[in-house]
Amino acid sequence: MDIEIIPIDESHIPKVKGLIAGYLNSSSNGVDESDPSPEQLEQCEQILNRFISNSSANCYLARQDHEYIGFIILSWSFSISKGYPVLRIEALYSSSKHRKKSVGRKLMKHAIDLAISNKATRLQLETDDDNAPARTLYKQLGFKLIQGKGVYMSFL
């Protein structure tokens, strides 16, 4: 059956909070490390509510046969050197039972199409050094690892 990519809205929250928990509980080797607790599911619902009320990013869901099986979170910025938008992939996740079934690829292709249609100068993301499955997918889709670029963060 086909995988449909749809934007998230408030009606999806009860059905997809488990996907957010799956993302939070997954390791870079692609294995979900633990089942979510009721408290964690409540936290995921709160995260989704805050996310939907904030316009700085977009979330798209992968749906197959009325089941939500993955998501991608995107945010826009701007390249001052190129004078065009930049689309950033903040998170990509497919449920453990749907991995290796092109869910991540379909979500990534949606992001690529969105970037092209909005005349973005680039699509960028970060991933852990030991996340071999993700790195393989990104290389297959034409992404290049930029040597010499470091990631700096200030946790507030």
**Residue 76 exposed, middle or buried by CB count within 10 Å (0-12, 13-18, 19+):** middle
**Tell me, what's the pLDDT at 30?**
57
d(CA 124, CA 127): 10
**Tell me, what's the pLDDT at 96?**
87
In this prediction the pTM is: 0.91
d(CA 99, CA 27): 14
pLDDT tens column, 44-57:
999 999 999 988 88
pLDDT tens column, 138-155:
999 999 999 888 888 888
Choice between 33 and 123, residue whose per-residue pLDDT is larger: 123
Span 3-140 CATH architecture:
3-Layer(aba) Sandwich (3.40)
CB 52 within 8 A of CB 8: yes
Closest CA to 3 of 92, 83, 73, 67: 67
Average pLDDT, whole number, for the chain? 91
Helices (H) and strands (E) in the chain, counts: 4, 5
Separation in Å, CA 105 to CA 2, 93, 135, 139, 155: 13, 10, 12, 11, 31
Break the chain into its structural domains and give their ranges.
3-140
CB 74 within 8 A of CB 88: yes
**Tell me, what's the pLDDT at 149?**
85
Choice between 78 and 153, residue whose per-residue pLDDT is larger: 78
Q: Using 50, 70 and 90 to split pLDDT, how confident is the model at 33? A: low
Separation in Å, CA 35 to CA 22, 25, 62, 148: 8, 8, 21, 37
Q: Is the pLDDT of residue 28 over 80?
A: no
Q: Using 50, 70 and 90 to split pLDDT, how confident is the model at 62? A: very high
d(CA 36, CA 44): 10
The residue type of 72 is: I
